[in-house]
Amino acid sequence: MNIFKSLVLRILVFILFVISQKSAGQINVNPRAQWFVNDRYGMFIHFGLYSGAEGVWKGEKLRNDNNYAEWIQYRNRISKEEYVTLTNRFKWDEIDPEKWVILAKNSGMKYVTITAKHHDGFALWDSKASDYNIANYTNPKRDIVKELAEACKKHGLKLGLYYSHWVDWDHKYGWDHTKEISGFSPADFDIYWQEKVIPQITELLTNYGPVGMIWFDMWIHHSQTVVTKPQLLQLKKLIRGLQPECLINSRLGLSLEEDSDVDFQELGDNEFGRTKKDFPWQSPATVAHSWGYNRLDFEYKSATCLLQSLITNASLNGNLLLNIGPGPDGSVPSEIEKRLLEIGEWLRINGESIYGTTAFNLPKDMNDWGVITHKSEEGNTMLYLHLFNIPSNRKLKITGINSAPVRAYMLDDKNKTQLPELHDNIVTEIGLPSMITEKLIPVLVLEYTGRPDYMTDIVARNIEGGYSFNPGNIVFSSDQLSIVPRSRGGTIPSHVNLNSPTILRWKFYVDSPGLKSIDLSYSYQGKSKDNRIKVKVADNDLNHDILNTGKTVGEPKSNWIIDNFRSFRLGSVNFDKKGFYELEISFLPVKNEEIKFQWLWIK
Ligand code: GLC
């Protein structure tokens, strides 16, 4: 083949690849990670010697309020000799990894990631590279990684292995934060790397069948640690060589900019998505606080709250890895098990709205009733609207979709009973059933022929029937705005500080014309009577002289005096017909005095 032909062929293959990625929905996915973005939901298992301590050592609770019980050896300064005696607290004849896999399966999770070696350095498999492993401390010998791998294979789940490559409190030269004080030598660290990390990863990827992912845990960039880029590249090359299909998470320690060949980005612990991203990503999360079993950890999130995290992540192209920390008898705390199974029950009925779906194009907080996932089948599109918030009159308004759906029904309704729908320009109104049968999070399905058109730079009507114009949904600003987030426990609301003449604009669609009132909320601490605000909407001009809003108190006797945000009625405006409107606010402060603008509300 001549060079020209081969070039054309390469270009064609590339175009086909791009098209196939586009039709799959989520672009920028390495082909080997396709199963991962498809599955969306996995189980994390933290199990190790620390599970035997249960978050308490010699009567003293873990020395850290984050309750991460797997850190007890380090936090409570336990010697290795004492730490290994924890093996005696386990009920080795009761611990059955298959039960964890069955729980994962019944909970709708598609992959399982276990702490093969956590920071304590103790291997949960029969490792030849280090004696500090479970087979040497159990009789008959156990190999938890092997047992889990077999159970995963039997039940059709993918296996992931967490491996702490950076922190290792067992090996003389492994990383231990205390070395920040005592000093360390990179050459020594390399001894640990070559004699423990490299051989152990080789074992894990050679002896346990296909491994879906290796989950590393260096949560800061390598340049801030003892680990070097060449070491990380050596490790990555080893994995790619042994199991080319095995995924690698971003906590390997290389930034995505310097090496985009990791397969997905791992967010911080219990950090959830805020914006849509095309590169695969995942949130590791706990049901309470701790990862390893901690018998004093009681603040469990509700099933609804956990489910909202799964759904919100899926609506932004992200995964959720939800953790169980089994105790020394292998059992999963009932509070955790109960919630997982509740979510599993929800997924049995509503899973179609999660598995194999991708983000839709409307911004996350545009509509206040919830979030959307989507799927295309045979050229048609299904939008899954997850209702976190239901209007009391049961009339759900969706702003931002120009096309009319051909069908609308609740996902838990086997008969797919068509719900009443009205479509007007970019507003779709669905009459929800008066009896909503789904108790956790109801899902409304809208089906479209082809791909629905949508519009983003628009303020949606919220479930109370009003419009909130705020710095977060602005379309135009004459100055660059920097939004001040909610602070002091939310007593100071999110706002923008304006101290020079500024014009702000929004766009919205009025689907029910009529007389509407206009309220404005701000804070102003000065004394001048000359600051003005002008509002232009629907051919009306409303003027307001800014007043001092004074202070308020957050909590008594806590030195908690804060600027007061007050709302003022500016008047009423008649919107005489349906259609798009523009709202403009001009802030006209004199003498550079500061006005803190929060929102304008039309209803
Ligand atoms: C942190 C902790 C670790 C835990 C992990 C889970 O990195 O050090 O104990 O395993 O988060 O994301």
pLDDT tens column, 252-278 = 999 988 988 999 999 999 999 999 999
Return the ligand 1 atom nearest residue 323 CA.
Answer: 6
Q: What type of residue sits at position 409?
A: Y
47 lines ligand 1 (CB under 6 A): no
- Whichever domain contains 78, its CATH number is 3.20.20.80
- The answer to whether the beta carbons of residues 291 and 323 sit under 8 Å apart is yes
Q: Per-residue pLDDT for 11 more than 80?
A: no
68 lines ligand 1 (CB under 6 A): yes
Q: Is residue 2 in some structural domain? A: no
Do 515 and 534 lie in one domain? The reply is: yes
Do 382 and 510 lie in one domain? The reply is: no
Q: Is residue 31 in some structural domain? A: no
Return the ligand 1 atom nearest residue 44 CA.
Answer: 6
What confidence score (pLDDT) does residue 6 get? Answer: 52
pLDDT, tens digit, 9 for 90 and up, residues 501-536? 999 999 999 999 999 999 999 999 999 999 999 999
What confidence score (pLDDT) does residue 28 get? Answer: 78
What are the backbone angles phi and psi of residue 118, rounded to the nearest 5°? Answer: -95, -170
Do 390 and 484 lie in one domain? The reply is: no
Query: What DSSP line would sit under 136-181, residue for residue?
Result: GG-SS---HHHHHHHHHHHHT-EEEEEE-SSB-SSSTTSB-TTHHH
What confidence score (pLDDT) does residue 5 get? Answer: 54
Which of the listed residues 449, 479, 505 is the one where a domain comes to its end?
A: 449
What confidence score (pLDDT) does residue 517 get? Answer: 98
Query: What DSSP line would sit under 20-58, residue for residue?
Result: HHHHTS--S--GGGHHHHHH-EEEEE--STHHHHTTEET
pLDDT, tens digit, 9 for 90 and up, residues 50-90? 999 999 999 999 999 999 999 999 999 999 999 999 999 99
pLDDT, tens digit, 9 for 90 and up, residues 319-377? 999 999 999 999 999 999 999 999 999 999 999 999 999 999 999 999 999 999 999 99
Which of the listed residues 353, 388, 418 is the one where a domain comes to its end?
A: 353
Return the ligand 1 atom nearest residue 118 CA.
Answer: 10
Q: Per-residue pLDDT for 187 more than 70?
A: yes
Report the separation in Å between the CA atom of 20 and the middle of ligand 1, taken as the mean of its atom positions.
36
What confidence score (pLDDT) does residue 15 get? Answer: 43
Q: Per-residue pLDDT for 10 more than 60?
A: no
120 lines ligand 1 (CB under 6 A): no
Give Dmax over CA atoms of the chain in angstroms.
85
What confidence score (pLDDT) does residue 591 get? Answer: 84
216 lines ligand 1 (CB under 6 A): no
pLDDT, tens digit, 9 for 90 and up, residues 140-178? 999 999 999 999 999 999 999 999 999 999 999 999 999
Do 312 and 388 lie in one domain? The reply is: no
Do 338 and 422 lie in one domain? The reply is: no
Do 229 and 246 lie in one domain? The reply is: yes
- The confidence band for 231, taking pLDDT boundaries of 50, 70 and 90, is very high
Q: State the residue range of the domain holding 394.
A: 360-449
Report the separation in Å between the CA atom of 217 and the middle of ligand 1, taken as the mean of its atom positions.
7
Task: Tell me whether strands 158-163 and 213-216 are parallel, antiparallel or unpaired.
Answer: parallel
Q: Per-residue pLDDT for 299 more than 70?
A: yes
What confidence score (pLDDT) does residue 590 get? Answer: 85
The chain-wide mean pLDDT, for the chain, equals 95
Nearest-CA residue for ligand 1 atom 11 is 269
Q: Per-residue pLDDT for 47 more than 70?
A: yes
Q: Is residue 141 in some structural domain? A: yes
Q: Is residue 178 in some structural domain? A: yes
Most ligand 1 atoms within 8 A of CB, residue of 44, 66, 68, 324 to mutate: 68
269 lines ligand 1 (CB under 6 A): yes
What confidence score (pLDDT) does residue 23 get? Answer: 40
166 lines ligand 1 (CB under 6 A): no
Whether the ω angle into residue 556 lies within 30 degrees of 0, i.e. cis, is: no
What confidence score (pLDDT) does residue 24 get? Answer: 42
The region of weakest confidence among 8-22, 425-439, 548-562 is 8-22
Q: Is residue 460 in some structural domain? A: no
What confidence score (pLDDT) does residue 372 get? Answer: 98
Q: Is residue 86 in some structural domain? A: yes
Query: Residue 452 has what DSSP assignment?
Result: P
**Residue 260 belongs to what H/E stretch?**
none
519 lines ligand 1 (CB under 6 A): no
Global confidence as pTM: 0.93
pLDDT, tens digit, 9 for 90 and up, residues 414-449? 999 999 999 999 999 999 999 999 999 999 999 999
What confidence score (pLDDT) does residue 26 get? Answer: 73
266 lines ligand 1 (CB under 6 A): no
CA atoms of 466 and 447, how far apart (whole Å): 27
What confidence score (pLDDT) does residue 21 get? Answer: 38
Do 170 and 85 lie in one domain? The reply is: yes
Q: Per-residue pLDDT for 4 more than 60?
A: no
Q: Is residue 284 in some structural domain? A: yes
Return the ligand 1 atom nearest residue 71 CA.
Answer: 9
Nearest-CA residue for ligand 1 atom 6 is 269
Do 581 and 598 lie in one domain? The reply is: yes
Which of the listed residues 319, 353, 387 is the one where a domain comes to its end?
A: 353
What confidence score (pLDDT) does residue 87 get? Answer: 97
- The answer to whether the beta carbons of residues 430 and 403 sit under 8 Å apart is no
CA atoms of 27 and 357, how far apart (whole Å): 13
Nearest-CA residue for ligand 1 atom 4 is 291
Half-sphere exposure of 359 (CA within 13 A, CB side): 22
Do 253 and 287 lie in one domain? The reply is: yes
Q: Per-residue pLDDT for 309 more than 60?
A: yes
Do 480 and 426 lie in one domain? The reply is: no
Report the separation in Å between the CA atom of 319 and the middle of ligand 1, taken as the mean of its atom positions.
17
What confidence score (pLDDT) does residue 25 get? Answer: 60
Do 380 and 347 lie in one domain? The reply is: no
106: Cβ contacts below 8 Å, ≥ 6 apart: 340, 341, 344
587: Cβ contacts below 8 Å, ≥ 6 apart: 498, 501, 502, 503, 504, 533, 595, 597
- Count: domains in the chain: 3
What confidence score (pLDDT) does residue 73 get? Answer: 98
As a whole number, mean pLDDT of residues 574-581 equals 98
Most ligand 1 atoms within 8 A of CB, residue of 163, 166, 217 to mutate: 217
- Whichever domain contains 396, its CATH number is 2.60.40.1180
Report the separation in Å between the CA atom of 290 and the middle of ligand 1, taken as the mean of its atom positions.
9
147 lines ligand 1 (CB under 6 A): no
70 lines ligand 1 (CB under 6 A): yes
As a whole number, mean pLDDT of residues 117-122 equals 98
Q: Is residue 23 in some structural domain? A: no
291 lines ligand 1 (CB under 6 A): yes
Do 274 and 336 lie in one domain? The reply is: yes
As a whole number, mean pLDDT of residues 462-491 equals 96
Report the separation in Å between the CA atom of 92 and the middle of ligand 1, taken as the mean of its atom positions.
25
409 lines ligand 1 (CB under 6 A): no
253 lines ligand 1 (CB under 6 A): no
Q: Per-residue pLDDT for 1 more than 70?
A: no
Q: Per-residue pLDDT for 489 more than 80?
A: yes
* Matching residue, tokens 């620390």: 50
- Whichever domain contains 593, its CATH number is 2.60.120.260
